[in-house]
Each structure stands twice: as structure tokens, then as C-alpha cells.
Amino acid sequence: MAKPTVAIVGRPNVGKSTIFNRIIGDRVAIVEDKPGITRDRIYGTGEWNGRSFHLIDTGGIEISDDEIVRSIKVQAELAIEEADVIVFMADAKSGLTPADQEVAGILFRSNKPIVLAINKVDNMQREEDVYEFYNLGFGEPVSISGAHGFGIGELLQRVFEELPPDTEDEYEDDVIRVSLIGRPNVGKSSLVNAILGEERVIVSNQAGTTRDAIDTPFEKDGQKYVLIDTAGMRKRGKVYESTEKYSVMRAMKAIERSDVVLVVINAEEGIIEQDKHIAGYAHEAGKAAIFIVNKWDAVEKDDKTLQEFTRKIREQFLFMSYAPVLFVSALTHQRLHRIYPLVNDVAEQHALRIQTHVLNDVISDAIAMNAPPSDKGRRLKINYATQVSVKPPTFVLFVNEPSLMHFSYERYLENKIRAAFGFEGTPIRIFMRRKSDDE
């Protein structure tokens, strides 16, 4: 089910990032505990009344040109392109400014639902200052205070009322949904064309459930696939080329609808920070993943080049050590035939379910080999383990005290589970739950 997208737009210094952090709560902080994940913090997930949504903080989009008005325009246009609902923020402390009116003019032409939020309403005097913002023509403003958390619930309720209906995925369970993600110029378009160009059994080209992806259903060797392609859909022009972070926004929607994500890296340019941002979203979303190193034909090689590039991937993507690496060339079709078997394998691992008694045997053996940690005389006791879901495989350990579980011991248990059952290409999740005395 595809989540809707909400964007926060406004001139600089109105408190967009503070409100962004208020809405996503501690989600980003939890994610950042994982070693190796880098974070640009412009994209998060919010939730209200049981509906979750993507949240964009356009203030995090850095524009190389210092001209403030141009910067605001770029951010507003990106938000209009991506968002289902736009939160237009101004602040009561500064009052209504020409820059606010500039943003309002752009948003008026968008035909998107706009929720007007006035920040820094920290006292009764500021409450009266909100009235002038009615002049913008977006109806009743919501008074909020990022510093004190005031009005956030009312803002989210207004956003909730404007969200579009949920869209169901229209594909059968036996279809493997595959997306290619990566920053601009890694060769996604040529790779998609090369993969599909080999096939003579493409069923159709049809619009996907999100407006910025094209879904191509096809079949190979009896297996049905849908290729979710965002590569050729990126708008051309200076607005969109001015920020590489824009590619993360597009990647998020494709990732959400996928079973298997192909993380495409440009072999000529090597790994850059943006690659880690984009791959990190696939990991957080719990999707199966494969690193596809494209343009391998263009790299001068000796007998150590492949091993050295693989080592760099493992070093730079510590949090995705489970993901296999495949070196290909869209131009020469080198190793393209190996993509399908690998996609099938990791999709199967992503949906793998382990019998409870077999899982507990593995956990018991792991405990016998390496005793759980203790703290101030209290030792962690693991009573029981069970797998509660797949895609990704998710396990719950019933323990005497969850806080006694050290990160390093959790990693040890994950490694033992992987050694026993495989799970190549998929993240796995492990949660602790306190076992009460009466259970």
C-alpha cells in the first residue's frame, strides 16, 4: 500500500526542520543507532489516526545558488511535484513577508491541498498576529509552536483530512516487484532498457499506482515480475538537477512498492555519500536488496579489481552486509543474465518462514556457545523465540529484561540465525519482549 506524501514548505528560518522533527518523533534517532547509515534528514515518516505518510522537509534541500528567492522557488516546486498535501509554514514573530507571498503565489497554482501553519505562536500577543495571514487566501491558519509542541496535533488532523485515499497494490502475490534505485547518472535507464530489451514477452506498459513510476509487468522462465522504473521519469531542467537529494525522494516511493530493490552504483565514479543515503532507505524499509555495479566494462581491471571494489562496498555499507553484489554492464550486457536468478533467490529469502522449534534450537545452541550479557548482577535470559512475520523476516525474543540485550549480542544472534537459515539479500528484524511471570 503506497503511503501519501506531505511536504513542509516556507521561507528560511520559519522553523520547518523543528516541526519536521516534532512530527517524525524519535524515528530518525532510532535509525541512526544502526552503524554505517548516513542520514540527510529531509525525508521521514509521520503518522496520525492510523495513517502513515512520507514527510519532506524542503528546508533540507540545499541549493548551490545563494539567492534566497530562487532557493524558495526550487523547494516549493519540488514539493508541488512530490507531495499529495503541502504544509505552508510562516511565522508569527516575523509577520507576513514578501517571501511568504512569493511562496503563496507558487502554491496557489499547484492545485494541491494546502494547510497553512503559523509557527512561533508562543504567547497570546502572537496569537493575534496570526490574523494577517488570512490575507494569503488559504483559509484558517493553524497556530503552532515548534519550541513548545503546541498545535502539532491540530496541524496533523488538518493534514489527515486532506490525505488522499489509500491505494491498494493491484498485483498478485506470486509477482516479484523489482525497483532500480540510485542517484542520477548511475545508468538506471540504460540498465532498465537492457534488462527489458532482452525480453520478447513484455505484457504491457501501464501507469503505476504512483504518478511518478512506470510499471512494466513481464514474465521470464515462468516467473512473473513487475519492474518499477523511476529512472526515466525524473523531470529534466535546472530545478531538478540543482539537488541530488531529490533522487532520494523519488527512490522512496519505488522502494515502498518493491519486494526486491536493485541498488545501482556507477563503477566509473565509485561509491559516494549519496549512494549510502539511497541504499539506507531500502534497508530501513525492510526490503530485499542487491548491489548492482553498472558500467563495469568501462573500468580498467586487473586480477584484484573486482575483489577490491567488493571490499569497498562492504566497508561503506556495513549495515547491508547481507546484500549480494553483482558487477554488470548495460552496454555490453555483461552478467545481465545473472540478475533474474539472484532476484528470485533473495525474494525467496525475504519471504522465508522458519518453524518455531527449529528457530529455538538455533537460539539455544547460540546461548550455549556464548552466554547472554549481564549488567549489575542481572543476566539476560532468553526464554523463547518466534518468527512473527516475513518481508522482512521478523523475530520476537521473549526475555526477562529487554534492556539487558546489548547491541553486540543481538548482532551475534542475528549472525547465528543467518548462518543457520541463510537470509541472503534480506534484512532481518529482531525485537525483545518482556516475558511476564504468568506467561
- Residues comprising the binding site for GTP? 10-17, 57-61, 119-122, 182-189, 229-233, 294-297
Q: Residue 434's CB: how many other CB atoms inside 10 A?
A: 11
Three-state SS string across 235-263, please? Answer: CCCHHHHCCCCHHHHHHHHHHHCCCEEEE
Which cell numbers in the block locate residue 384? 523463547
Angle made by CA atoms 60, 63, 69, in degrees to the nearest 5: 100
* Per-residue CA distances from 64 to 61, 77, 217, 248, 283 (Å): 10, 16, 39, 18, 29
Instruction: List Cβ neighbours of 166 (8 Å cut-off, separation of 6 or more).
Output: 1, 2, 51
Whole-number Å distance between alpha carbons of 136 and 56: 22
Q: H helices of 63-187, where?
A: 68-82, 98-108, 124-129, 152-162
Which cell numbers in the block locate residue 88? 505552508
- In this structure, what is the dihedral angle of CA atoms 193, 196, 200, 201, given to the nearest 10 degrees? -140
- As a residue count, the chain comes to 439
Instruction: List Cβ neighbours of 52 (8 Å cut-off, separation of 6 or more).
Output: 3, 45, 46
Which cell numbers in the block locate residue 209? 499506482
Going by the annotation, the residues of the binding site are: 10-17, 57-61, 119-122, 182-189, 229-233, 294-297
In one-letter notation, the amino acid at residue 167 is T
In one-letter notation, the amino acid at residue 428 is I
Q: H helices of 83-202, where?
A: 98-108, 124-129, 152-162, 188-197
Q: Which of 277, 325, 355, 337 is nearest to 424 (CA)?
A: 325
* Per-residue CA distances from 147 to 15, 21, 110, 191, 247 (Å): 9, 11, 30, 47, 31
Q: Are strands 142-143 and 114-119 parallel, antiparallel or unpaired?
A: parallel
Q: Which of 91, 153, 160, 95 is nearest to 122 (CA)?
A: 91
